[in-house]
């Protein structure tokens, strides 16, 4: 079967590898025929050559990790050792081994769910990041009437903006150095700030400080501090970005003096939140069409990742389709 592996920073190699079979399945796992995958922001550090601080990195040389680092997948069940998934089912969710760039994927069935059959595979793959966003927002005390700011307006940040507005946020501010004027309104952003987060914070008036600040950037330490600086007294900071560092320096004085709450965490109850994402997409039929902006074939994986690394204003979500 076809597969990809990283052989150097910014460089994929396509190769043929032995087929996976039902004999490769552990209990509660399924075998999927690859239909589509999404390029996630957390896939980009390993593409650039970062090692050891990202989910799914076992410490091996990236060239030894076939299919790495893709984890957002849609596939057809070829074999199953999970009671909820049968042969022929089409499902979306996590490639639990972070090895989704292969023609056949072994995945934990607890991280998969069926989706609306009216969706194309490339649109369905967006339900995985949407599930993560909805689960994260469930951890807050409600957004109705709140001013929400989202630092980072990439594919995850725009989903946060859209979902926050749909869940009742009074005002949504989106902050990103990439020009999102052309698409921000489609995702519920009321105020589009084209600036780095430190510059945005430095110009904030006290009355404009958001009740909730969502950090959707990750992979460095600075923006969490900016989120804490920006939050209104009594506010909440949600850290969603993927940490490449074990320790983050933050101002405990600001946390204390402003009575702030800091929340973070990984997505749990994956089957449930994938179902919730499917229903959310049905209730908001315009979302996935606006979200998916670029689709590549499996022979164009290199081009898909090259595009994902460039700050292109009109790019949101990139999918790879069989």
pLDDT digits (tens, 9 = 90+) for 159-214: 999 999 999 999 999 999 999 999 999 999 999 999 999 999 999 999 999 999 99
The reported pLDDT for the residue numbered 59 is: 60
Instruction: Give the residue among 320, 263, 270, 313 at the shortest CA–CA distance from 295.
Output: 320
- CATH code where residue 164 lies: 3.40.50.720
* % residues pLDDT > 90 (the chain): 91
Same domain, 210 and 174: yes
In a domain? residue 135? no
pLDDT digits (tens, 9 = 90+) for 266-302: 999 999 999 999 999 999 999 999 999 999 999 999 9
**pTM given for the model:** 0.96
Q: Are 67 and 99 in contact (CB under 8 A)?
A: yes
Q: Are residues 255 and 280 in the same domain?
A: no
Residues 144, 252, single domain; the answer is yes
Q: Report how far residue 180's alpha carbon sits from residue 185's, in angstroms, rounded to the nearest whole number.
A: 9
Statement to judge: residues 163 and 102 lie in one domain: no
* 241 band by pLDDT with thresholds 50, 70 and 90: confident
Within a domain: 134:
no
Name 207's Cβ contacts closer than 8 Å, sequence gap at least 6.
Answer: none
What CATH number does residue 11 fall under? 3.90.180.10
Residue 113 lies in a domain: yes
Domain boundary among 226, 248, 263: 263
Residue whose structure tokens are 């725009």: 158
Tell me, yes or no, whether 232 and 275 share the same domain.
Answer: no
**Whether 116 and 188 share a structural domain:** no
155-166 vs 127-138: helix crossing angle, rounded to 10: 50
Are 209 and 228 contained in the same domain?
A: yes
Q: What is the DSSP letter of 6?
A: E
Q: Which domain holds residue 314?
A: 2-128+269-321
DSSP codes, 253-290: HHHHHTT-EEE-----SHHHHHHHHHHHHHHSTTHHHH
pLDDT of 32 reads: 98
pLDDT of 125 over the 70 cut: yes
Per-residue pLDDT band for 55 (boundaries 50, 70, 90) equals low
For residue 163, being part of any structural domain is answered with yes
Residue 225 lies in a domain: yes
Confidence of residue 56 (pLDDT cuts 50, 70, 90): low
CA dist., res. 304 & res. 321, Å (int): 11
Mind spelling out the 3-state secondary structure of 194-219?
ECCHHHHHHCCCHHHCCCEEEECCCC
Look-up of token digits 């989106």: 174
Beta bridge mates, 263:
238
What is the arithmetic mean of pLDDT over 79-97?
97
pLDDT surpassing 60 at residue 63: no
Number of domains present in the structure of the chain? 2
Q: Are residues 21 and 55 in the same domain?
A: yes
Give the separation between CA 319 and CA 313, rounded to whole angstroms. Answer: 17
Query: Is the pLDDT at 24 greater than 60, yes or no?
Result: yes
Question: Is residue 133 domain-resident?
Answer: no
């Amino acid at each position: 079967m076809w597969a990809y592996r990283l052989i150097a920073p910014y460089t994929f190699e396509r190769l043929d590898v032995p087929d996976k079979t039902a004999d490769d399945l552990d209990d509660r796992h399924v075998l999927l025929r690859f239909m589509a995958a999404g390029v996630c922001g957390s896939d980009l550090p390993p593409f650039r050559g970062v090692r050891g601080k990202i989910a799914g990195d076992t410490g091996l040389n990236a060239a030894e990790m076939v299919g790495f680092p893709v984890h957002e997948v849609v596939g057809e069940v070829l074999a199953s050792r999970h009671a909820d998934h049968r042969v022929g089912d089409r499902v979306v969710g996590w490639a639990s081994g972070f090895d989704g760039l292969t023609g056949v994927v072994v995945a934990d069935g607890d991280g998969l769910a069926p989706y609306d059959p009216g969706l194309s595979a490339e649109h369905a793959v967006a339900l995985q990041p949407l599930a993560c966003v909805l689960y994260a927002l469930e951890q807050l005390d409600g957004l109705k009437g709140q001013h929400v700011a989202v630092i980072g307006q990439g594919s995850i940040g725009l989903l946060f903006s859209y979902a926050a507005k749909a869940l009742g946020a009074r005002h949504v501010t989106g902050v990103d150095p990439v020009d999102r004027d052309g698409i921000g309104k489609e995702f519920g952003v009321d105020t589009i700030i084209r600036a780095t987060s430190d510059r945005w914070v430095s110009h904030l008036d006290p009355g404009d400080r958001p009740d909730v600040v969502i950090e959707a950037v990750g992979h460095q330490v600075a923006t969490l501090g900016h989120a804490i600086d920006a939050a209104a007294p009594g506010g909440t900071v949600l850290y969603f970005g993927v940490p490449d560092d074990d320790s983050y320096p933050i101002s405990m004085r600001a946390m204390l003096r402003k009575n702030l709450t800091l929340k973070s965490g990984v997505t749990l109850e994956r089957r449930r939140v994938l179902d919730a994402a499917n229903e959310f997409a049905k209730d908001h039929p315009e979302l996935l069409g606006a979200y998916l902006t670029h689709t590549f074939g499996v022979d164009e994986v290199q081009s898909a990742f090259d595009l994902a690394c460039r700050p292109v204003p009109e790019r949101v979500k990139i999918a790879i389709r069989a």
